[in-house]
Structure 1
């Protein structure tokens, strides 16, 4: 199911971002399914980004710590949505779907992502299709001018988002030369397109935020701050 194949986001970019919070997952599903849940979260993001790239319009996705959403999103905040949806059940619906997928996988004794991909169970395939539809909806929201803002549990915070972060105090951002981001190459902070510069400003101003920029030419850049340095990765493979 799907062509994601278990490819991971760069570990240095993931940092504190978890595609699933174990506290949201019934304990009876076990540790193996927590790992499967992370794969499903990565799969959803990969599918979303691949769809945005295929459509050729580019886009930007911002991931916000759930605890900071009320502070960071609003008409006078750093993230200013044209279409604000702070209070909705989007994230809850995703988590409910994820829980159903994990429960069915457990019932089928699917203990790995490889086993999940090869499964032919009709109920599981239907749930997987719903997960793909969720990812496609995210991609469609990214087509709106401005950024799509989610919390880190896939709760929808707004779309058509303007980023009102100030210019970074440093003239440099840093290109990661490895997945961990231990080897860095300095580049001018004012390089890149409008979306890239907005992502740099946001991540410099708010260390807990992360951003993904899809360029119209298909390039994908993952941005975050670490130790007061804004770092980006270009190695994502879809």
Structure 2
């Protein structure tokens, strides 16, 4: 049976007041940006080896954000305006560098005025994924556009996955304009605040770092750890050990690749993830989800798990030390092996698998996966879909700070995922909208709880 409606259940989380759930606009962001900027630890040396740049004053910062907000609502040749902007002096970027390891700095012979109309006209020439518009303050004329930076696309590996060295931006202020009313406020590559449709999405509320998420996939991690210990005992050469952290990072790399490919497709998609290898809920015909295309269970379906096992064995064998038989390697140790051809080929195999899984979402219906790989796709969510009226929107990692939302405000793709999570409590749903927004839904503490996922949540060691 489906559970009783959320509106009729007591809820253990702390509900946010209406004031806390209000819309946020550029002028409201300034105090938050200053607070988070000061709270963030400096990422280390800048490209010049100097100190981190300071934020502009309150009025200047408000004017800068407001201008970017206005241009986000415009269209250029009937296309939404998207761009990346960086506040930095041209001296930070040597004139003899360029992608993929550096930045190609191109100076305008005469600086251009900084306003929404100039940004709109420049946007077609500044591909969002490959270039930035560079500005700096002028003592009399306010901000001015001094040129363009060609960055290449390696910076996207932080979000989408990849095994090449990323060219890091200096520790300065930046803004990403990603769509109407959608701004990401950055410090270098780190996003410190995201504005989406008047709502502030907190990138610190990262469900992937939660205790409940860790527990959800603990069984599969333990299985991989046991397989590795059996392998270590079966060979005569030194093989290092790993811990949960390594497997978590490996799983996360695969997942963020699937999500990023789906976002880039602009088709959207739904992924229903069951934590076990052979979910009981799908052992027979399920009254809540009908899989139009179900895969036959054989070795091919387990390729995802097999690639993970091979990755673990390769890393621990290459880094094994006969003088330290119980050496433990970390994910960072593995990343440093990216120059090894065998590591490169295996990483590419994992990313190709993720690309394949993401492509299944192009067919109408949900992609259903287990911890070992895809079970099928074209999943139609059916059953009594009128028993859920509200979901909880989480503003913290564990889902304890909540605000209730009526599901009628969401599209059919989201509502179907909510109803499924309400019926099958072990299932976790990730819904990618056509506009690139990503939401995670899971039954938690008596209600379907949702986390909005920002790009920042996918940034970490590759």
Q: Shorter-normalised TM-score: what interval?
A: 0.7 to 0.9
Is 2:240 the counterpart of 1:22?
no
2:385 paired residue number: 167
- TM superposition shift of 1:79: 1.5
Structure 1 range deviating more: 77-86 or 202-211: 77-86
Q: Secondary structure at the match of 2:425?
A: coil
Structure 1 range deviating more: 173-182 or 13-22: 13-22
Unaligned runs of 5+ in 2: 1-153, 162-205, 233-238, 320-327
* Higher RCO (CA-CA < 8 Å; seq separation 6+): 1
Is 2:446 the counterpart of 1:228?
yes
Which structure has more helix as a fraction of its residues?
1
Q: Secondary structure at the match of 1:9?
A: helix
2:208 paired residue number: 9
* Structure 1 residues 61 and 30, CA gap change in structure 2 (3 angstroms): farther
Offset from partner CA, 1:124-161 (integer Å, 9 cap, x none) = 1111110111100111111111000011x133221010
Structure 1 range deviating more: 118-127 or 197-206: 118-127
* Structure 1 residues 141 and 149, CA gap change in structure 2 (3 angstroms): same
Offset from partner CA, 1:164-198 (integer Å, 9 cap, x none) = 14226342100000112110111002221111101
Q: Secondary structure at the match of 1:190?
A: helix
Offset from partner CA, 1:63-87 (integer Å, 9 cap, x none) = 1243773543665532111111252
- TM superposition shift of 1:107: 2.0
8 Å CA contact 2:241, 2:316 repeated in 1: no
Structure of larger gyration radius: 2
2:49 paired residue number: none
Q: Secondary structure at the match of 2:408?
A: coil
* Structure 1 residues 159 and 91, CA gap change in structure 2 (3 angstroms): same
Is 2:349 the counterpart of 1:130?
yes
- TM superposition shift of 1:18: 1.8
Unaligned runs of 5+ in 1: none
Q: Distance in 1 between matches of 2:381 and 2:391?
A: 18
| TM-score under structure 2 length normalisation | 0.47
Q: Secondary structure at the match of 1:66?
A: coil
Q: Secondary structure at the match of 1:208?
A: coil
Over 6 Å off, 4+ runs: none
1:148 paired residue number: 367
8 Å CA contact 1:203, 1:224 repeated in 2: yes
8 Å CA contact 1:33, 1:102 repeated in 2: no
* Structure 1 residues 194 and 90, CA gap change in structure 2 (3 angstroms): farther
Structure 1 range deviating more: 75-84 or 128-137: 75-84
